[in-house]
Amino acid sequence: MKKSWMGIMGLFLAACGAGNTSRNLANGIWQAKLHRSDGADIVFNFDVKDSVLYVLNADDRLLVDDIKVEGDSLFIKMPFFDSEFKAKLTDDSTATGLWIRHLADKDVSVPFTAKAGIKERFPETTPATADVSGRWVTQFVSAKDKDKAPSTAIGEFKQAGNIVHGTFLTTTGDYRFLDGVMNGDTLRLSTFDGSHAYLFTALVKKDSITNGIFYAGIGDGLEYFSAVKNDSAKLPDERTLATMKPGQKQLNFTFPDLNGNKVSIKDERFKNKVVVITLMGSWCPNCMDETGFLSKWYDKNKDRGVEVIGLAYERTTDFEKSKKSLQGFLQRFDVKYPVLITGVTPGDPEKGEKTLPQLTGIKGFPTTIFINKHGDVEEIHTGFSGPGTGEHYQQFQSDFNRLINRLLEAN
C-alpha cells in the first residue's frame, strides 16, 4: 500500500513540473475520498460550478473559490483551517493527489482521489432495517487509552429511507454536518470541511448503537463508541463549565488587533455598552459557525449600544503567522468588530491564567462571555450549537437575543 501511494505522489510531483496537458475540472458533483493508512476512507462530495466548488455535507454547502488548474495539475486551497489539495487530473473527471494540512510546526498529508459524476456519498445497497432517528446518549472511548474515562456526547439524527443526517453535540460544541446512509442495520456517516475529516460506522438496533468506530482525521485517530436511545437526554448547562473566580466581576485585558494596535476592554469604545466577547481561533470549525452568526448579527445590531470583541487563540505564538491565519478567516465572514491576537495557543494549559486570569479556566472553543453596561460579566457560555444542530441552533439564537435584549434594557 505504501509503495503504491509513493508512486502516486511521484506522478503528482512530476505533473506539477510538466504541465504539458491542459485539463478542465468537470462541472457537476464529485465523490472524493481521503485514504487513511488503515483503509478507512473518509468520503465526501463536492459540486463544481465553473470556477468554484462547494463541499457538500447534508444541508451545508461550503464555498471554495481558490482553485487553480495548471496543465494537468489541480490546486484547491480550502477557505479555512490552512489546508489544501494538490492533485493530478488524469482527465477532466478524475483527480489523484494529496490533502495537506499546514499545522503550526509541520505539514501532514493523506492520499486523496476524486471522481466526477458520482452523486452518492455511500452506496445504498439494501433497504434500511433500523431507524436511527432521535436522540442518543453516546460514550466515546479512546482506542489507544481504553483506561481513560469515556467522553459523553448526544447524538441527534434524522433518517429518511436510507439517508441519514445529524450530528453529535458535546459540551464544547458539535461535530457539524454528518451525512450518510443506513444499509440494513449498518450506519455510515462522514463529514469534511477542511478541518473535520470524520467517518463513523456502527450497528443500530431499536434502542442501542453498538460496534461503533469513529475514524478521526488523517492519521491514526480512532475511538470506539456505543449509544443508548434517550429522547430526553441533555448536556450539562453551558453556563456552568467556565465561571468567574470568587470575588471577580470584571475582565481586564489588552491585546493587539491585526494591525498591531492595542485594544483594551477598558477603552472608551466599550464603556456603558453591552459587550459580547468570543474566545475563538481560525483553526476551530465551531468558531467558524459562531463567527458567521456574530458577524451578521453585529452588522444588524451595532447601533443598539452593543459591541463584539474576538480574542484569538491561534496555533502559534508568532504574531505574523497568527495574523496570516486570521486574515482570510475574517475576510470570508466580513467581520467588522475587533479581533485581537492573544499570543497564546489553545493547547497551552495556562491559557486562561495568561489571558483572562479572572476566569476559573477556558474549557473549550468557542467560549462566549456576556458583559453588561456596568462592565460586569453577566454570563459565560462554553461551546456553540451551530447550524448543523437544527433546533438547537434555533434555540441558541433565541436565547442569545433574549439575553442581549435583557442586558440592553437594564439600567
223 touches 214 (CB < 8 A) = yes
Across the chain, mean pLDDT equals 92
Using CA atoms, how far apart are residues 15 and 225, in angstroms rounded to an integer? 42
pLDDT of residue 20: 59
Using CA atoms, how far apart are residues 331 and 66, in angstroms rounded to an integer? 14
pLDDT of residue 5: 44
**Residue 354 to residues 43, 247, 254: CA-CA distances in angstroms?**
40, 19, 12
Which residue shows C-alpha cell 499546514? 102
**Which pLDDT tens digit goes with each residue over 93-136?**
999 999 999 887 888 999 999 999 999 999 999 999 999 999 99
DSSP conformation class of 59: T
Q: Tell me which architecture the domain covering 254-409 has in CATH.
A: 3-Layer(aba) Sandwich (3.40)
In sequence order, which ranges of 53-121 are alpha helices (DSSP H)?
none
**Which pLDDT tens digit goes with each residue over 249-301?**
999 999 999 999 999 999 999 999 999 999 999 999 999 999 999 999 999 99
340 touches 251 (CB < 8 A) = no
Number of H helices, E strands in the chain: 5, 25
Closest CA to 184 of 122, 127, 120, 124: 127
In CATH terms, the fold of domain 134-229 is Lipocalin (2.40.128)
In CATH terms, the fold of domain 2-116 is Porin (2.40.160)
Question: CB within 8 A of 106, min separation 6: which ones?
Answer: none
Q: Which three three-digit cell numbers place residue 281?
A: 481561533
Q: Map out the domains of the chain as residue ranges.
A: 2-116, 134-229, 254-409
What are the E-state strand segments in 299-376? 306-312, 339-341, 367-371
Using CA atoms, how far apart are residues 406 and 88, in angstroms rounded to an integer? 56
Answer with the residue of higher pLDDT: 12 or 375.
Answer: 375
CB atoms inside a 10 Å sphere around CB 386: 27
pLDDT of residue 120: 95
**Which pLDDT tens digit goes with each residue over 168-190?**
999 888 999 999 999 999 999 99
pLDDT of residue 57: 97
- Which H/E stretch holds residue 355? helix 351-355
**Which pLDDT tens digit goes with each residue over 21-74?**
778 899 999 999 999 999 999 999 999 998 899 999 999 999 999 999 999 999
CA geometry: angle 335, 340, 342, nearest 5 deg: 145
Question: CB within 8 A of 172, min separation 6: which ones?
Answer: 286, 363, 364, 365, 382, 383
Asked if pLDDT for residue 381 goes beyond 90, the answer is yes
Residue 376: strand, helix, or coil: coil
227-239 burial: b if 16+ Cβ within 10 Å, else e: bebeeebebeebe
Which residue shows C-alpha cell 471577580? 248
Q: What is the CA radius of gyration of the chain?
A: 23
Average pLDDT for 398-402: 96
Using CA atoms, how far apart are residues 292 and 62, in angstroms rounded to an integer? 12
pLDDT of residue 51: 86
